[in-house]
Amino acid sequence: MPPIMTDNPAILPDHYSNGHVPVFTPTIDQFADFNKFVKAINSYGMESGIVKVIPPKEWVDALPQITAEKISSVKIRNPIVQNINGAKGVYVAENIEKKRTFSLPEWKKLSQMSNHQPPYPRGAKRRQSIVKNEAAAQKVDQTEFDYNINTDDFTPERCEFLENNYWKTLSYAQPMYGADCLGSIFDDSIDCWNVARLPNLLDYLDASIPGVNDAYLYAGLWKASFAWHLEDQDLYSINYLHFGAPKQWYSIPQTQAQEFYSLMVESFPENHKQCSEFLRHKTFMASPSFLESKGIQVNKVTHHQHEFIITFPFGYHAGFNYDYNLAESVNFALEEWLDMGLKSKKCECIADSVGIDVVKLINDIKKSGDNEEVNNYQLPEDKMAAKFNERHSLSPLSKEPLIQKQDDEYVGVKKTEVFKPLKIRLRFYGDGISQKKTKRKYTTTITTTTNNNNNDVDDDDDDNNNGTIESAKKPKINDGFLAV
Ligand SMILES: [Zn+2]
């Protein structure tokens, strides 16, 4: 058998959603070790920005029932009301905290109010009863509470109908989102893929950071949206949908991350002027059709209950919820993230925006001696010395340079350090069939291109809106996510 030329035995996608998002259906053996699994699929996620993982049936079947106690522990504190303004595919979400705490039964009742219900095509019969107002939503019998809804309704056809409706009517409603609620409803007995207890490098952080190395719950309703963003410190993230309606996800392939950022700068010039990390405010939205019209590929995947979505460093993502649901999410780090984590920038205009001292983290892990890969990790100054030595000891057989530069154009107003994904083609062998596999390396480059664009981003516009939102309200703090 030919040698397998990867660090981990390959796990191949079962299929691709919409042609671009890898969907994995691991066996229970492949699923058993979370870190090993993500490493084995890393090159796929680094390419697409996000992947979907459908856990093995044995794992789902073995999950203990969600107890009434767990359900009553869910407190949806200060959910946000999202005022979404804009037109022609470019929007700003103004997220205003509602000073009220909802229990899950109350939240479910809320989903039955007419303004929170997804529409049905003309002539189709509504499945849900209507609750008249919020006061009525708070009168719920909590003793016989069925936390889930009938999710059979969310067929690919219905999701497509609702997705179109979402982008057409985005600014007509005020969706509510119970985002960033500290907590977990995973049973403590679950050791495998328990989002609240994923063994990873962030375990070596001194303090817990809510939502980063401490899980958050997200209670969704129809149209509740998450704007385009990268994770704090460009970490990985994992999102498990415990129950309810699906979530729609979008991602940008890493190869177009800079192009995407430049387009967003063009679309929101004032906000970019105030903060070069403005997308970390998580308030800027752009529709797939707008992005596609500007040459950006948008990857799409629908996330159903009992499935995981993993987002990868430097993979911009966004999305919305189709109806009432509950998801749990946390950030995590692999050794593959260290280079990117070191380069990541944080937003400086939000007082408590999350930043991790990655050098300290690396040194702390080295001190622990637990992790061989991190022990051997060279910090940038060591790396530069090593690179110099490497250059003087290249094998005479290597005709091509291992890293090839790409001439991606980055548009920015000041000198900026950017990542450029670079491809190396490796030969990969499995089951006697040879396949091309892509592995990524990162390098740093300094760009000095200036942006002379006049912000005219919408040619076919016949009203006064040219697709550019001139300004958005200055963000206020809400645990660093979705807040304005
Ligand atoms: Zn900022």
Check which CATH number belongs to the domain holding 239 and give it. Answer: 2.60.120.650
In a domain, 117, yes or no: yes
In a domain, 82, yes or no: yes
Task: Exactly one of 43, 329, 336, 480 is catalytic; name it.
Answer: 329
329 belongs to the catalytic site: yes
Q: What is the pLDDT of residue 383?
A: 64
Task: Exactly one of 229, 272, 303, 304 is catalytic; name it.
Answer: 229
Task: Exactly one of 89, 178, 211, 480 is catalytic; name it.
Answer: 211
Q: What is the pLDDT of residue 297?
A: 97
Number of domains observed in the structure of the chain: 1
CA 423 to centroid of ligand 1, rounded, Å: 31
> Other C-beta atoms within 10 Å of 26: how many?
18
Cβ neighbours of residue 182 closer than 8 Å, sequence gap 6 or more: 210, 211, 214, 215, 216, 217
> How many residues belong to the chain?
484
Judged by DSSP in three states, 291 sits in: helix
229 belongs to the catalytic site: yes
CA 348 to centroid of ligand 1, rounded, Å: 5
Task: Put the strands of the sheet holding 299-303 in their side by side order.
Answer: 225-229, 317-321, 247-251, 299-303
116 belongs to the catalytic site: no
Q: What is the pLDDT of residue 152?
A: 92
Residue 162 vs residues 202, 246, 247: alpha-carbon distances, Å: 37, 11, 11
CA 278 to centroid of ligand 1, rounded, Å: 5
In a domain, 177, yes or no: yes
Q: What is the pLDDT of residue 143?
A: 63
In a domain, 43, yes or no: yes
Collect residues with CB below 5 Å from ion ligand 1.
275, 347, 349
In a domain, 167, yes or no: yes
Task: Exactly one of 231, 259, 266, 307 is catalytic; name it.
Answer: 231
Calpha distance 89→287 (Å, rounded): 5
Q: Where are the beta strands (DSSP E) in 30-122?
A: 50-53, 75-77, 80-87, 90-97, 101-103
At 456, give phi and psi (nearest 5°): -80, 90
In a domain, 446, yes or no: no
CA 188 to centroid of ligand 1, rounded, Å: 37
In a domain, 412, yes or no: no
Calpha distance 136→277 (Å, rounded): 42
Q: What is the pLDDT of residue 149?
A: 92
Q: Where are the beta strands (DSSP E) in 252-324?
A: 284-286, 299-303, 308-311, 317-321
- Radius of gyration of the chain measured on its C-alpha atoms: 23
Domain of residue 157, residue span: 15-359
CA 471 to centroid of ligand 1, rounded, Å: 13
236 belongs to the catalytic site: no
Q: What is the pLDDT of residue 427?
A: 29
CA 281 to centroid of ligand 1, rounded, Å: 6
Amino acid making up residue 150: N
Contact 31, 37 (CB under 8 A): yes
At 100, give phi and psi (nearest 5°): -160, 150
| pLDDT tens series, the chain, 484 aa | 444 444 566 899 999 998 899 999 999 999 999 999 999 999 999 999 999 999 999 999 999 999 988 999 999 999 999 999 999 999 999 999 999 999 999 999 999 998 899 998 777 766 666 776 777 666 666 667 899 999 998 999 999 999 999 999 998 889 999 998 899 999 999 999 999 999 999 999 988 888 788 899 999 999 999 999 999 999 999 999 999 999 999 999 999 999 999 999 999 999 999 999 999 999 999 999 999 999 999 999 999 999 999 999 999 999 999 999 999 999 999 999 999 999 999 888 887 788 899 999 999 999 999 999 999 998 877 666 666 666 555 444 333 333 333 433 333 333 333 333 333 333 222 232 333 333 333 332 333 333 334 333 333 333 333 344 433 333 333 333 333 2
Query: For the chain, what percentages of helix, strand and coil (3-state, to nearest 5) are there?
Result: 30, 25, 45
In a domain, 422, yes or no: no
CA 103 to centroid of ligand 1, rounded, Å: 32
Q: What is the pLDDT of residue 355?
A: 86
480: left (phi over 0), alpha (psi -120 to 50) or beta: left
